[in-house]
Amino acid sequence: MPDTPPIPPLRLREFLPYRLSVLSNTISRRIAELYDREFGLSIWQWRVMAVTGDAPGISATEIGQRTAMDKVAVSRAVAGLIELGYLERKAAEEDGRRSKLYLTRTGQSVYDEIVPMAMAEEQALEAVLTPDERRELTRLMEKLAGSASPDRPLW
Amino acid sequence: MPDTPPIPPLRLREFLPYRLSVLSNTISRRIAELYDREFGLSIWQWRVMAVTGDAPGISATEIGQRTAMDKVAVSRAVAGLIELGYLERKAAEEDGRRSKLYLTRTGQSVYDEIVPMAMAEEQALEAVLTPDERRELTRLMEKLAGSASPDRPLW
DNA sequence: CTTAATTAGTTTCATATGTAACTATTTGTT
DNA sequence: AACAAATAGTTACATATGAAACTAATTAAG
């Protein structure tokens, strides 16, 4: 038997950042697989489609803000979606640097198919929780998010 | 012809998989930054050190099971840690394929430093929650984890 | 025993991702 | 007007990651 460590052991399994990461990755992986298999979309592309469907004419920068993606990730996802024929870009008349993004006809029909699937998937996931528990989870996550916000100093 | 029913808008911000992913990434990023800055460790390397410190002589496969890392990730993390001089490998006498892993003297002292930091970080994060809330969060996360387990079929 | 199948772990290769540098345009200053 | 600074978005490069192929050792089957 090894000596007792000089400090209290850290149990990874009980470590909140670890538990959160494993849970989130498990869920993300399932969903990524679904979107990829059904529509050839990455999670990033799906997020871009989701916000563009919700706010047609949105700019890449705004997409970044709404999806917590950085501008490079947005740029790449948009490029891929245009390649796939799901998205189109129009120059913004008031600002030559920006462009406005829209779902194409095809993109819209993919969107119309994928949204109910995504919602069903979320509901299947959440089905194990009661409505009260869902609200409580949201509340707790928001508290944590405040505590972990990137601008906040570490100690 | 009946109109196609309008697709209810999907609000990414209210979408649990998205919220979980953003929260987890925010937290992971903070922690990754800390470990990297202080000890030159990636999150994967830190996880390997954590379980090796907790169970000296552990094998790579067991590390994978305890950390939810795949064997390639474990192999790379271990290689890096040996390179850094934090970990050493001894052949397992009973099975020539395995090796047993141990923290080196240096690795142990890094471990002794990093564990209290990690715990402090976790406590700073959790400080916004009451003990009841922490228990409740754990309970809800476990329910979700059951619902999302990878072997479970999608629909 | 001898060979096939399994397991532990590493390496290879193709792709994903993050950071920094870059282009083009707009805004602010004088 | 002229030029510096800021902003939108893309490109390039270096590194991270995952899947599959591979090596070596062990176990199972005939």
pLDDT tens figures, B34-76: 899 999 999 999 999 999 999 999 999 999 999 999 999 999 9
Among the partner residues A50, A128, A145, nearest to B146 by beta-carbon distance: A128
With contact defined as beta carbons under 8 Å apart, do B18 and A28 qualify? Answer: no
Strand D bases within 7 angstroms of protein beta carbons: 7-12, 16-20, 24-27
d(CA B21, CA B29): 12
B72 touches strand D (CB under 7 A): yes
With contact defined as beta carbons under 8 Å apart, do A26 and B149 qualify? Answer: yes
Region A102-123: mean pLDDT is 94
Output A140 or B152, whichever has higher pLDDT. A140
Q: Look at B125 and A138 and tell me if their CB atoms are within 8 Å.
A: no
Q: Look at A10 and B53 and tell me if their CB atoms are within 8 Å.
A: yes
DSSP count for chain A of H helices, then E strands: 6, 2
Q: Of A4, A122, A144, nearest to B18 (Cα)?
A: A122
Region A106-119: mean pLDDT is 94
Q: A13-147: which CATH number, 3.40.50.300, 3.20.20.70, 3.40.50.720, 1.10.10.10?
A: 1.10.10.10
Task: Write down the pLDDT at residue B10.
Answer: 84
Q: Which two tokens stand for residue B1?
A: 């012809």
Asked if residue A141 has pLDDT above 60, the reply is yes
Q: Which of the residue ranges A44-48, A55-59, B26-30 would you say has the lowest mean pLDDT?
A: B26-30
Protein CA at A136 to nucleotide C1' at D10, angstroms: 42
Asked if residue B154 has pLDDT above 50, the reply is no
Q: Which CATH class is domain B40-140?
A: mainly alpha
Task: Write down the pLDDT at residue B1.
Answer: 58
For the segment B81-135, what is each residue's pLDDT rounded down to a tens digit? 999 999 999 999 889 999 999 999 999 999 999 999 999 999 999 999 999 999 9
